[in-house]
Structure 1
Amino acid sequence: MTNYENYTFVQGEADVAPLLLLHGTGGDEQDLIPLGHFLSPQASLLAIRGRIVEQGANRYFKHTATGGFDLKNLESETTWLIETLQELASQHKLDLNRLIVMGYSNGANVAAKFILDGKVPIKTGIFFHPMILTPDDATTDLSDSAIWMSHGSLDPIVTEANFKALATAFTSKHAKVETYEAKQSHNLSENELQAAKDWLAQSGRLR
């Protein structure tokens, strides 16, 4: 395992699809390493920390003064994240077409956005408690994409309507989408993690 200023890379087996790990608000590049190992024990793991810090918490994009999403900052930080990903993938010889992105909360939000916008060739996503950030007007064809996403019915952050809007955004672009919904809050649960692991194992995307 190698640690740098804003990312961690764990070398895995070359014939197993690598995982990109994007943390939730307040997390860092170490947070999801254990979960990455759980989902795919032999995979290489690349975890990138968001460079925005709000009230001491790491994030991938800013809020406005009124608490909404800063959409201008979202665009610039998404561009930074994609450029960083491309540089690190090249450095560590990771195939972006095989890469599986796994994000939680804030990290899931930005990952879902860059796939919906067609800004990366990533075709597989696992999103824990994601939400749609902007109206979806991209014309991306995601017919080769497979998405798994989870939601808690007691989640005080992500509404059921928002979660369904995100799922619809993916299916309208012909992505294959599987959703997991449970009576829980914005936290991760053992059942949820096992469901994601089972889906990934059956997806055919690990090799």
Structure 2
Amino acid sequence: MTGHSLGLIHRFEPGFEAGRPPLLLLHGTGGDEADLLPLGRSVAPGAALLSPRGAVLENGMPRFFRRLADGVFDEADVRARAQELADFIAAARSTYGLAAPVALGFSNGANIAAALLLLRPEALAGAVLLRPMRPLADPPEAELSGKAVLMLSGAADPIVPAQNARALAGLLEAAGARVEHTVLPTGHGLTQTDVALAKGWLARQEGMR
């Protein structure tokens, strides 16, 4: 189902396995609302999938917020777009009858998911962050107790400095989240190991509910 209402162009696939939390799929730069649907089906079979398209264009490529240069974010835009995305999630939950989703974000999508956790933590039940960076230099204090976060970084990632990813993990932990941060022997692109780890982590979270 493709939607143009609720504030963002998006795709929605209803779930057919009771008890699985919905996934909020957040694509990387140049992706769209169809980009991560196969990944979502792989890591959470039977879960409802909600996949919005980023509303910012960079050289014609959709993103979820503006950046000033590679690795340099327009933090005012990060904050504004995180609020818009949280409002979209609330509207989609009402429209489609969804529980709070777990975000599954890659690259730019992982960064806006991290911003959501810090700025509007009520919007998400948890998150799988694939190749994330710290989205804000000076975020507000968030209350993330009870939320679980999986971070998967690449040891040879040319885009995300290792210390930046570690800083994000520490920031989320300090806010009370249960963070698992794994560094894989790979670059910025996703691998089958990412898929397997995300699938196993999501299954474990459901077992803990």
Length-normalised TM-score, structure 1: 0.92
Matched, 1:26 2:45: no
Correspondence for 2:15 among 4, 12, 16: 12
**1 or 2, which has the higher helix percentage?**
2
Task: Give the Å deviation of 1:134.
Answer: 1.3
Q: Verify the 8 A CA contact 1:17 1:205 in the aligned structure 2.
A: no
Q: Which consecutive segments of 4 or more residues in structure 1 shift more than 3 A? A: none
Match of 2:155 in 1: 153
CA RMSD of aligned residues (A): 1.8
* Alignment-mate amino acid for residue 10 of structure 1: E
Task: Give the Å deviation of 1:199.
Answer: 1.2
1:1-207 pair list within 5 angstroms? 2-5=1-4, 6-13=9-16, 14-64=18-68, 68-96=72-100, 99-204=101-206
Measured in 2, the distance between the counterparts of 1:173 and 1:62 equals: 26
1:5-56 alpha-carbon deviations (Å, 9 max, x no partner): 3100001134321111000000000011001111111101000110101101
Q: Out of 40-49 and 128-137, give the one that drifted further.
A: 128-137
* Alignment-mate amino acid for residue 84 of structure 1: F
Unaligned ranges ≥5, structure 2: none
State the percentage of identical aligned residues. Answer: 36
Measured in 2, the distance between the counterparts of 1:132 and 1:122 equals: 17
Unaligned ranges ≥5, structure 1: none
1:155-189 alpha-carbon deviations (Å, 9 max, x no partner): 11101000000000011112111112112110000
Measured in 2, the distance between the counterparts of 1:67 and 1:139 equals: 23
Q: Out of 30-39 and 127-136, give the one that drifted further.
A: 127-136
